[in-house]
Structures are given as structure tokens and as C-alpha cells.
Structure 1
Amino acid sequence: MPHEGAGQPLDAARWVDELARRARTALPPEVVEYVLQGARDGVTAAEAVDSWRRVRLVPRVLRGVDRVDLTTPLLGARVRAPLGVAPTTLQRAVHPEGEAAVAQAAAAAGVPVVVSSNAGTPFADVGATGARWWVQVYVPQDRALAEPLLDRAVAAGAEAVVLTVDTPVVGTKYAAGERRVWDVVDPAWLRVNLDPGQEGAPGSEKARDLGPADVAWLGERTGLPVVVKGVLHPDDARVALAAGAAGVWVSNHGGRQLDRAVATVDALPTVAAAARAAAPGALVLVDGGVRGGLDALAALALGADLVMLGRAPLLALLDGADGVARLLSLVADELADALLLAGCATPAEAAALLAAGPGSTS
């Protein structure tokens, strides 16, 4: 149940807001800008948090629910809660331990963590934490250049590959000052799992010709399940699953790619329905503005199996592994409390909360 602090429940969303305020004094302004900004005018990024508050649920009663079991099946095993940590770049710019601290917190919480291909921490160090972790990949134009990174991830115990498909080029972001984050960060905080000299090598730019064959190739090359991240249209979910993906991830990249892209809360119901129809048992993930247990409950009700947090853990990393662990614990506790109040004993029962009509967000 919810944590107590100073006589009042500690709310995850309000704590994340406080962390954002702390970041403005604790971190260089260029790093804060990078963490918080969206692409172009920031329309999509700005509406993400409030978008979940539009969802209205229909709680159930007289169901004999006296306890909640958050454990959730995931790729042949079970995790302690239907939550996870999404990949983010420049974690070591927020805290020296970076990805290792986030993975340590995820391991303590019993939830998966996805590690960016831009990570500043060796995959072996992430694996040493005992976390269940997946590797996120941007496929380069020359596919062979991705192979060493994939091999390192497999050797370090990655359990899945997350293919990001919404970044043929990096979305334009405006700088408030004369310097960008890349002018102030230590190069050692980035891409340490790539081969030396790979950046700038011929064919190293992000592939603009991604297709179903890349999904199949990643699965064959690694022997791991592939999750396709950046899906907002149901037809794209069908294509990904037909190509052999184990799951699809509803994401607009935190509003950092195409500005004015649809909010994930609005895309989730149709993508989830298409995925389940195309491949029963397909995994559906979602991210984008999730700040607390009620947001997670809304996501589960709309069809998600796993609810991913991105900026919130990055901000919690101000307090290292303890901060991220605290955030994950808060969200899990809030979710358990919300499920109990809604008459649901498990996350899978959350679909019953949309009795007024699947996909309704009003």
C-alpha cells in the first residue's frame, strides 16, 4: 500500500515533479534541457503526463478481492510487477553510476530494465547487477556494424532486443542557450559498447530503410525475442508481429521525435487489439508520461502488459540506485492500492475496468 511520509502518503507523480525542480539546480542546464525537452515545439512531450488523466475507469465490487498479486508473466518467466524501465541516454550525466545504478534498482524491484545502445556503462557491468535486462538497438545503415554491440549484449545476459523504429533521423530540438548538451558532457558517458571508431564510420548513420527483414535478422542474429519500439498504428503492429516480433511497444519516443504525434494513451487501445488479434500472446508495452500507479492502471486497462517509465527513473537517478528503487516501489505500491480499490486481484483483471467501452478515454 502507499508509503507514508510526514503523516501523508508520498505521491510518485508529485515526487517526480520535485525531482525535476531539484535537477534544475543539481545538474548543468544543458543536461536538464536534454532530459526534459521534446522535439520542435514540445507539443507531444508536454501533453503526455496529463493525457493519462483523461482515462476514466469503472471499478468493480463484490468480487471478494482481499489482496493483490502484481506478479506478471514476461517472456516465459514472471516479474514482480507489470512495470519496467525504458531506455534513456546520458544516465551517467545524472549520476556517476548511471545504467548500473538503474539496473541495480530494477533488480531490487524485480522488474526489467532496457539499456540504451547509447549507454555509458559496459553491458557486462549491467549484467553483473543481476537485473533482468534487454538491449535497445538503433540499426545502422551497415547492419554489420551492429553485430559487435549485439554480441556484447548477448554475452552479458540480455534477455531481449528492443528495436527502435521511429528514429530514421534524430528529431530536431531547440537549444535555449548557445551550448548543447553534447558540448558539456564527457564522451565517456556515451556509447561505450560500440567498437572504437564506429561513430562516423561509413554506414554508421541510422538506417532509413528499416523493414520487416530487420526484425527477423535481429532475432536470428541474437537468438533473443525482439520487441519493436515506436509503434503507434495498428497496421504497423501487425507487420512487426508477422515479421517475428515477440511484442510491440507503443511509444512516441517521449515526444522527442515527430512533434504532434499522437499521445500513447490514444494509440494504445487500437494497437493492443490489433496485436492480440494478429498474434495471441503477443507482448504489448507502453510508455509516455507515466508517473504513478493510477497511470499504470489506466495503461493496463487499455491493453498494456508492461508499463514502462523513462524520464521518471532518469530524474530519480539523482539519488542513485536508492532513488530509482524508491520510485519503482512507490509506483508498484500505488498500482496495488489502485487495483484493490478497483476490485482487481491481478493486473490482468484491469481490462474489466473499461466496461463502458474498450478504448474509452472520456
Structure 2
Amino acid sequence: MNIQSRTERMAGQETPERKRSGQGDAEMSLICLSDFEAYAKDHLPKATWEYYAAGADDCCTRDDNLLAFKRIRLRPRMLRDVSVTDTKTTVLGTEISCPIGIAPTAFHCLAWPDGEMSTARAAETLNLCYVASTYSTCSVEEIVTAAPDGFRWFQLYVYRDRKLSEQLVHRVEALGFKALVLTVDVPYTGKRRSDIRNNFRLPPHLKVKNFEGVFEEHCGPDNYGVPANTLDPSISWKDIYWLRSLTRLPIIIKGILTKEDAELAVEHGVQGIIVSNHGGRQLDGELATIDALSEIVDAVQGRIEVYIDGGIRTGSDVLKALALGAKCVFIGRPIVWGLAYKGEEGVRGVLQILTDEFRLSMALSGCRNVAEINRNLIQFSKL
């Protein structure tokens, strides 16, 4: 495929339809992910914006996720005949159009009325992996109905009442989800100061739909839509065996940042790791994900797949992550920005821009396909 994208071809073209709708200037100005971020910040309610944007404590880790990518430089190769490029890859044996997926993020209906259903449709259209959150404001059944042919994984927490987790596992397996993504970095919720100051709560018309009817009699304090102290802080590596006993689905662990835990993940029979610090929303001051990636890739030695989230904002960020050994990257906050702009169309726009930028970065670095991306492409800056 020629590297010139649809976005580039449309740049500078003001169609009659756009002129009549008055949307031309706004649409043409959204040419990178930071433009969608600015739009979302201007148009979402303050408490909603700060919920999505929040990091823990001083937000050092949230911000370092972005800055760490800027410390990596590319070493492009020339005269490589990049007239045809291919962004396709596989995750757990399933082909996707590009090594970019949608990370599990909560409460999409805060940004757009049909929330996760729009997200699922966008992922299905572009043939990308969507990891649906336990804390969705649409149920897993609604997500599947909205995008029946989509490629989906499900993100899972372990609760003190293990039956809640078991029931979710059985539901999503029956619905055709292809993997479980166990989030392991939330034995307790990090301190997000803006949410505390705003007394953040879901508005009355929204619920954590996967638990609809479960907590109706609860009248005490809640924590992001479920009763406080619902998560199980006693979760340990032995619970991987418990989870494996419930399902035949592959298990991916999300929240690993060290080679020691990566080695334990392999020992306990998981099929993948998402290198993640929860978008900087849990332990402030921990490693940026891109800084942790290499040691984890080296630790697993190709025995399982390694993915990454956190701080990916450009196509060159995707290229850098793949050069360091990630099989696929997952993006979270930019998806919500796209929803805030125009629902499904906005999410498609965010994903298409990132895909187009990745293709261009590949070509300008001398890579014709994903298999040609390797560590020789990068150098760490001393900045």
C-alpha cells in the first residue's frame, strides 16, 4: 500500500458538505492525537476531563510515560525501497491490520452517549484489538451486539467475592471474547487528587453495566461505581492457577514492570504481558512503561508475547515500542478524546491517524513491514 494516507490526501480539501455543516475548519484542525486531546479538554465537563486525565499524586509517572519516548532517537536506514509497506501483524495468532490496540479504559459513556459500543464498532471497522474494561458503562453483551465481528479481549479484576470475577469470566468466554487481561496493579486504588477534590461520581443515569443489579442494595461509599473495598488486595501468583482453572481463554497479565515479575508470569503459564503502569494512575514515581520494556522482553526470551501501553501519542512512538520488542501497543486516553469529538467517527479518526503515522514512520526508517523493525533502529538519548 502506498504510504500516502487518506488523512493526507484530504488535507486542504474543503468539501461542499463540510462548508454547509460548518465543520470543515474543526475537522481539518484535528490532524494529530494532541489536537483531539485539546478538543476533549475544551468540551468535556471539568470533573469528567480531570477523571480521564488524572494521574496519581504528583502525576510524575503519568507525565514521564510521555517524556520517556522523547528520550529515544531513531536510526533510520536509507535506499530500502519502501514503495510498498505493510502494517499487519498478529497477536496470539490473530491477524490485525496494525500493531495498535485499544487499552481497557472505564466509563466511555461519560464522553459519548453510546460509549463502549462506539469504541467497539471503530475497532471492528479497522480490524484492531479492543480490550473491554470491567468498568464499562455498556455491558459486554451490548458491546458484542454493537460489533459482532470484532476482535475483543476482556480486562478483569479479582474481587473479594470471587463469584463476581468467575461470573464475568464465564460471560465473556460464552460471548466470544478471545483472551482475559488480568489487571494486577490495583490491590488498592491510587490516590488521584483531582477526583478527590471533585468528589467524582458517575452521574445517576450511568452504571458499571457489567454489575447491573449486583450492588443495588448497597448504600455505603463507593469507589468508581462499585462499593468501596470490593477489590481483593490478597491476590497473588497462586490466583493465576485459580483463573486458569476457570477458563480455556489465554491469560494476559497487565501491570508488569520488572523482569522478576515477567519471569514469574512465564512460570505461571500466562500467554502474554502488558507492560503497564496504569497510565500513571496507581503508584506515582514508578518506571515509565517504555523504560521498563526492554528488560521484560529480554526476560521472557520470546516464550510469551509482550505488549505495552502508556504514553503512545505518535506513529514514531509505536515504532520505538516495536523496536524494543513489543508485539503491539495499546492506547487509552486518546480513545476517550476521540469519543468526545464525535463518537465512533472520532475513535476511527484517532486510530487512523496513528496508523497512518506509524506507516509513514516505518517507511522513513527503511522498514517495509513489521518484521523488519528491530533494536538497531533506536538509540537512547542522554537528555
Structure 1 gap segments, 5+ residues each: none
Which residue pairs with 2:335 in the alignment? 313
The amino acid of 2:370's aligned partner reads P
Equivalent position of 1:350 in the other structure:
373
Candidates 342, 354, 359, aligned match of 1:336: 359
Question: Which residue does 1:299 correspond to in 2?
Answer: 321
Q: Pick from 218, 223, 239: which aligns with 2:243? A: 218
Q: CA deviation at 1:187?
A: 4.6
CA-CA distance at 1:329 after TM superposition: 0.8
1:250 aligns with 2:275: yes
- Closer, same or farther in 2 for the Cα pair 1:354/1:178, shift >3 Å? closer
CA RMSD of aligned residues (A): 2.5
Q: Distance in 1 between matches of 2:197 and 2:329?
A: 36
SS in 1 for 2:373: helix
Q: What is the CA-CA distance between 1:144 and the residue it aligns to?
A: 2.2
Q: Can you list the C-alpha shifts for 1:205-236, whole angstroms capped at 9, x where unaligned? A: 21222222222322331210011000100110
Shift of 1:300: 0.5
> Which residue of 1 is the match for residue 17 of structure 2?
none
- Counterpart residue identity of residue 336, structure 2: L
1:138 to 157, 166, 175: 157
1:176: Cα distance to partner? 7.5
CA offset digits 1:93-151 (Å, max 9, x no partner)? 00011111001001111110001101111111212202111110110123222111122
Q: Which residue of 2 aligns with 1:287?
A: 309
* Match 2:168 to one of 137, 140, 149: 149
2:101 touches 2:331 (CA, 8 Å); kept in 1? yes
Pick the aligned partner of 2:211 from 194, 211, 236: 194
Name the structure 2 match of 1:98.
Answer: 115
Q: 2-side partners of 1:71 and 1:65: how far apart? A: 15
Distance in 2, Cα, partners of 1:175 & 1:204: 20
Q: Does 1:112 align with 2:149?
A: no
What residue identity is the alignment partner of 2:155?
Q
The structural deviation recorded for 1:81 is 0.6
Q: Is 1:30 the counterpart of 2:52 in the alignment?
A: no
Report how many aligned residue pairs link the two structures.
353
Give the TM-score normalised by structure 1. 0.90
Contact 1:148 1:195 (C-alpha < 8 Å) held by counterparts:
no
The CA distance in 2 between the partners of 1:321 and 1:30, in whole Å, is 23
Q: Larger radius of gyration, structure 1 or 2?
A: 2
Deviation of 1:178 (Å) = 5.0
Q: Name the counterpart of 2:221.
A: none
Alignment partner, residue 174 of structure 1? 193
| Residue in 2 that maps onto 1:164 | 183
Which of the residues 72, 75, 97 maps onto 1:58?
A: 75
Corresponding residue of 1:76: 93
Offset at residue 350 of structure 1 (A):
1.2
The 8 Å contact of residues 161 and 218 in structure 1, kept in 2 or not, is answered as no
Counterparts of 2:231 and 2:371, CA distance in 1: 37
* Cα drift, residue 196 of structure 1: 2.4
- Cα 1:12/1:325, change in 2 over 3 Å: farther
Say whether 1:272 aligns with 2:297: yes
How far apart, CA to CA, are the structure 2 residues paired with 1:18 and 1:346? 28
Instruction: Work out whether residues 320 and 378 of structure 2, in 8 Å CA contact, stay in contact via their aligned partners in 1.
Output: no
Q: 1:57 to 1:179 in 2, by over 3 A?
A: closer
- CA distance, structure 2, for counterparts of residue 79 and residue 93 of structure 1: 28
1:326 aligned partner, one-letter code: G
Shift of 1:177: 8.1
CA deviation map 1:224-263 (0-9, x unaligned): 0011000100110111121111000101100000001111
- Summarize the Cα distance change of 1:27–1:248 in structure 2 as closer, same or farther, 3 Å threshold: same
Whether the 8 Å contact between 1:264 and 1:287 is mirrored in structure 2 is yes
Deviation (angstroms), 1:14: 6.4
Distance 2:192 2:91 in 1: 35
Match of 1:233 in 2: 258
Secondary structure in structure 1 of the residue aligned to 2:193 = coil
The one-letter code of the counterpart of 1:21 is A
Partners of 1:145 and 1:204 within 8 A in 2:
no
Percent identical residues: 35
Q: Secondary structure, in 3 states, of the residue corresponding to 2:296? A: helix
Return the letter of the residue paired with 1:222.
T
TM-score (norm: length of structure 2): 0.86
